[in-house]
């Protein structure tokens, strides 16, 4: 079994590093930087839409010849994981969503959106974002990692998610989900609260999917509570 993990906006694949030592024997973890984030350049002509990211992930699955895998999507990566899962790729066994951006669009006030757009490349703003999304104290190295990943995000990836990706409505694709799904959200998530997930995400997931609220956690579930995820 392989877990293919898709990271949050303004993050990178290393957000999932703490999961590796907790994996069951025989399980591998692939956590690529998505185009425009971390160290991953965007392909020529890439338009940063949800569909373009889904195309990129499907190509990654094919390149790595994944035949038996789980998709794990966090926040922005959760929306991309939903778009990929709706395509029913061969070998997909399960979908795990960590505080996903809701399929029909993220409820972000326009004042907050404008502030986020203006925060690009600003170290003080990156630090403020860290304090907002992390509820559980993280080691200093992980704290620095979150801030550094924020600051190395490219401008197109930053802007296009805020202006288009977070608003995109992929709810019409959700009836095509055909694998078991888990949905987790931190009790103190200040980005996408449990009530938001219960109202905007859970009703669109396969019957029988339950919402698990993780006590004490914020938005950075893979870094705050990695043991709950795997």
**Which pLDDT value is given to residue 209?**
97
**Which pLDDT value is given to residue 193?**
97
Half-sphere exposure of 84 (CA within 13 A, CB side): 34
**Which pLDDT value is given to residue 68?**
96
Angstrom distances, CA of residue 170 to CA of 195, 202, 230: 20, 14, 27
Tokens 């609220």 sit at which residue? Answer: 213
Nearest Cα neighbor of 106 from 210, 229, 8, 206 is 8
Half-sphere exposure of 140 (CA within 13 A, CB side): 0
Helix (H) or strand (E) segment spanning residue 98:
strand 92-98
- Residues in Cβ contact with 88 at an 8 Å cutoff, skipping those fewer than 6 apart: 176, 178
Angstrom distances, CA of residue 140 to CA of 89, 106, 145, 179, 218: 39, 30, 9, 38, 17
Q: Report yes or no: 153 and 119 within 8 Å, Cβ to Cβ.
A: no
Neighbours of 147 (CB within 10 A): 18
- Give me the tens of pLDDT residue by residue for the chain, a chain 230 residues long: 999 999 999 999 999 999 999 999 999 999 999 999 999 999 999 999 999 999 999 999 999 999 999 999 999 999 999 999 999 999 999 999 999 999 999 999 999 999 999 999 999 999 999 999 999 989 999 999 999 999 999 999 999 999 999 999 999 999 999 999 999 999 999 999 999 999 999 999 999 999 999 999 999 999 999 999 98
Q: Show the domain range for 136.
A: 2-229
Structure tokens at 87: 């395509």
Q: How many domains does the chain have?
A: 1
> CA-CA-CA-CA torsion for 209, 1, 71, 6, nearest 10 degrees?
140
Phi, psi of 222 (to 5 degrees): -65, -25
**Which pLDDT value is given to residue 103?**
98
- Give percent helix, percent strand, percent coil of the chain, each to the nearest 5: 45, 15, 45
Helix and strand numbers, DSSP H then E, in the chain: 9, 6
pTM recorded for the entire structure: 0.97
Q: Give the CATH number for residue 66.
A: 3.40.50.1820
């Amino acid at each position: 079994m392989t877990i293919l993990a898709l990271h949050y906006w303004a993050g990178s694949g290393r957000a999932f590093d703490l999961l590796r030592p907790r994996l069951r024997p025989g399980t591998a973890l692939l956590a690529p930087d998505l185009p425009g984030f971390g160290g991953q350049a965007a392909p020529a002509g890439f338009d940063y839409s949800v569909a373009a990211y889904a195309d990129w992930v499907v190509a990654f699955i094919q390149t790595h010849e994944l035949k038996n895998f789980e998709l794990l999507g966090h926040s922005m990566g959760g929306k991309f994981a939903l778009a990929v899962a709706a395509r029913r790729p061969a070998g997909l066994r399960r979908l795990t969503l960590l505080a996903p951006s809701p399929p029909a669009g993220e409820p972000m006030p326009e004042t907050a959106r404008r502030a986020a757009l203006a925060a690009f490349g600003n170290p003080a703003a990156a630090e403020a974002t860290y304090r907002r999304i992390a509820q559980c104290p993280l080691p200093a190295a992980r704290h620095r990692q979150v801030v550094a990943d924020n600051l190395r995000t490219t401008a197109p990836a930053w802007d296009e998610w805020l202006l288009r990706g977070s608003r995109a409505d992929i709810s019409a694709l959700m009836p095509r989900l055909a694998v078991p799904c888990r949905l987790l959200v931190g009790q103190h998530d200040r980005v996408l609260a449990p009530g938001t997930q219960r109202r905007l995400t859970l009703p669109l997931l396969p019957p029988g999917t339950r919402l698990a609220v993780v006590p004490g956690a914020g938005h950075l579930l893979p870094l705050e509570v990695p043991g709950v995820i795997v």
